[in-house]
Structure 1
Amino acid sequence: MNLSKSVYALLLSAILLIPGAVLSAQSLGSRIDSLILTTFKDKNGPGGVFMVAQKGRVIYHNAFGKANLELDVNMTSDNVFQIGSMTKQFTAVAILMLEQQGKLNVQDPVSRFIPDYPGGDKITLHHLLTHTSGIKDFTAMKTLADIAQKEMTPEMMVNFFKNEPVDFVPGEKFAYNNSGYLLLGYIIELVSGQTYRDFIQQHIFDKAGMQHSRYASDREVIRKRAGGYHLKSSGYVNKTLISFSVPFASGALMSTTEDMLKWQQALNQHLLLNPEETAKAFRTYQLNNGETFTYGYGWHIKTLNGTPDREHGGSVFGFKSMGIYIPSEDIYVVGFSNCDCNSPTKVTTDIAALVLATLKKR
């Protein structure tokens, strides 16, 4: 579980160039290890991968536990994980890319694309992006178990929830909603003429150089795939199987921590979006009553100990994920877990807070 000597050397050389540096690379890495081990305690159980980068340079990267319990395979920093709802970042950017191309507008009503959608003339893409649409979240429907393992088309998924009673008037409240992002994925297909899978692969993963990221599959052979697990009273078990056509654009992507850094760099460098479109993703918006809520397009817009950040987590059977970006210091922290018994959310937040505090002391 030790950091590689090359990573320590790089960080140490960088720190030694900074007058007044208070922490060595070794002590920073050790402190991060300690934070992780408060949650990821079982070295023979499922584990995780954590990475910290500043200004695009990796300053910490470490793997814990096992990638595969049955084969007794240790986790490595390049293992591939399902990222759950971190998928929403990619869906939101895909919508903004289509807006940038003049093919849609975030203020367009859903009815422009799906004419028979109930109340679709009053629900906009903006409402879907910001979780303010009021439509029923399909993950809260009791009948979800009936389709969880079936191969569903995006249209079938939309039909599954579209006639459910709405929870509130569009724009009245913020309520996290997977149905909204599934709808956005379907609209991406309708507008682009490509499948969501192909659009994300061609226009985002390939452009950003994310060679180990992809739409999830339980059938295809995926190199370096980490197995997913649950913890039951009897011990660890393999994750429950689902059809990835069900979470679709709300939670069906896979990636590595290194690829997620490439993603963050692509956003920072405006490789995918121009500054105007990028700004739409990373700002807060208001409800109908003028109240501001802390969600942009695909990211929570929050603060960490008073410093603005952008963050989002994910959870899907057998996996959890979390990523935090601090723009003012160009710090990116991402953590993946291959057991939904180990959440990386607090650990990732604690690591980000530690690194931020360390930098502010210099």
Structure 2
Amino acid sequence: MLLSLIICTSPGIVAAQSLDAKIDSLILTLFNDKDGPGGVFMVAQNGKAIYQKAVGKANLESDVNLTPENVFQLGSMTKQFTAIAILMLEEQGKLNVKDPISKYITDYPAGNKITIHHLLTHTSGIKDFTSMKSLSTIAQKDMSPEMMVGFFKNEPADFAPGEKFEYNNSGYVLLGYIIELVSGETYKDFIQKYIFDKVGMSQSYYCSDKQVIPKRAYGYHKKAYGYVNKTMISFSVPFSSGSLMSTTGDMLKWQNALNQHQLLNAEETKKAFTRYKLNNGEEFTYGYGWHLREIKGIPDREHGGSIFGFKTMAIYIPGEDIYVIGMSNCDCNSPTKITGDIAALVLDELWKRKR
């Protein structure tokens, strides 16, 4: 009986072990310094993790190893949460993505021509504050959302609204400010109450270097002479464009919540994952908070993040319900390519099993 059980189950076990070994090999091509900062990766299918890996250190000074439960800064993956928060407010009838931003920020230059949709899709033409030379003058200051908007709002536009797609952090700062104006709550509290708490993301936070955060992964830069602690910034500067932190497990809860319409109905959810068009009718590959691309000819939804000391990447393939996420606690190592390679590898394995 035991023998027949072994014979029946061993091919699947071998296949799983083979896939794990292949993923391990991909990760270790870049994340190969067990005594330095490293990365955490997860693969999930049908809403459940099927692979998890942590390599390197969560804290170099304390010599603590990374684990899949460590909390990382997300960087621009924050934009997913900001976009969904806007759609939640639209579903409640409190705003419309077609609204001009002048409806909420009355003194914004040319605000009657720039819509919330333009902000969501990076087609507003507003100057990206991260490209401004004067950014260093505020990087460590506590800035209110109004102050942040004031920092860039009088800069000349790069192009007319809807003319071009150009990735833009300023637009997502404006969206966070609009969330506060419309909801009457801080962005931090809104995300905590209506997303993190509702979904059960108990290890997700608005970034803080002061708060005691259990299982925090510390961020690093790499210099010619070795690793150094990340540059300190005020998280009120990236704000709703890049100031959230989470774990791979919580991010899977987030993905599952979107799939199960825990936060938005199907109609509103679809808006986040629709490819839109420029004024000239040309389609571009960005929805609301996600890049909409393809892996091996299969549509996916993806976004990365980069902030001092951290880089992140997540890919979701809706047709196969596959979610792959990678997080690094050194901005010297980007998980972007590896995450894509893992997703392609998992697709290949899935297709082999279906044959």
1:307 aligns to what? 298
1:94 aligns to what? 85
Of all paired residues, the percent bearing the same amino acid is 73
Work out whether 1:205 is the aligned partner of 2:188. Answer: no
Q: What do you get for the CA RMSD once the two structures are aligned?
A: 1.4
Work out whether 1:290 is the aligned partner of 2:311. Answer: no
Aligned CA distance change for structure 1 residues 167 and 43 (closer, same or farther; 3 Å): same
Aligned CA distance change for structure 1 residues 204 and 16 (closer, same or farther; 3 Å): farther
Work out whether 1:172 is the aligned partner of 2:190. Answer: no
1:273 aligns to what? 264
Match of 2:72 among 81, 84, 87: 81
Work out whether 1:237 is the aligned partner of 2:198. Answer: no
1:86-110 Cα offsets, whole Å, 9 max, x none, are 0000000000000000000000000
CA distance, structure 1, for counterparts of residue 213 and residue 339 of structure 2: 26
Match of 1:262 among 248, 253, 260: 253
Counterpart residue type for residue 229 of structure 1: Y
CA distance, structure 2, for counterparts of residue 261 and residue 41 of structure 1: 25
TM-score normalised by L of structure 1: 0.94
1:147 aligns to what? 138
Q: CA deviation at 1:22?
A: 9.8
2:24 aligns to what? 33
Q: CA deviation at 1:24?
A: 1.7
Work out whether 1:70 is the aligned partner of 2:87. Answer: no
CA distance, structure 2, for counterparts of residue 57 and residue 103 of structure 1: 35
Structure 1 contact 22–361 (Cα < 8 Å) conserved = no
CA distance, structure 2, for counterparts of residue 308 and residue 318 of structure 1: 30
CA distance, structure 1, for counterparts of residue 200 and residue 345 of structure 2: 29
**Match runs of 1:114-193 below 5 Å:** 114-193=105-184
Counterpart residue type for residue 24 of structure 2: D
CA distance, structure 2, for counterparts of residue 98 and residue 280 of structure 1: 13
Structure 1 contact 100–277 (Cα < 8 Å) conserved = yes
Q: CA deviation at 1:361?
A: 1.2
Work out whether 1:227 is the aligned partner of 2:222. Answer: no
Q: CA deviation at 1:270?
A: 0.1
Work out whether 1:104 is the aligned partner of 2:95. Answer: yes
Return structure 1 stretches of 4+ with deviation > 2 angstroms. Answer: 20-23
Q: CA deviation at 1:62?
A: 1.0
Structure 1 contact 23–358 (Cα < 8 Å) conserved = no
Q: CA deviation at 1:23?
A: 5.6
1:39-68 Cα offsets, whole Å, 9 max, x none, are 101110001100000001110011000000
CA distance, structure 2, for counterparts of residue 299 and residue 16 of structure 1: 39
CA distance, structure 1, for counterparts of residue 203 and residue 68 of structure 2: 12
Counterpart residue type for residue 324 of structure 1: I
Q: CA deviation at 1:27?
A: 1.1
CA distance, structure 2, for counterparts of residue 300 and residue 215 of structure 1: 23
2:3 aligns to what? none
Count matched residues.
Answer: 347
Match of 2:44 among 53, 58, 61: 53
Match of 2:243 among 240, 252, 261: 252
CA distance, structure 2, for counterparts of residue 80 and residue 114 of structure 1: 35
1:161-181 Cα offsets, whole Å, 9 max, x none, are 000000000000000000000
Q: CA deviation at 1:156?
A: 0.1
Work out whether 1:340 is the aligned partner of 2:331. Answer: yes
CA distance, structure 2, for counterparts of residue 77 and residue 157 of structure 1: 34
**Match runs of 1:312-323 below 5 Å:** 312-323=303-314
What secondary structure sits across from 1:131 in the alignment?
coil
What secondary structure sits across from 2:319 in the alignment?
helix
| Structure 1 portions without partners, runs of 5+ | 1-12
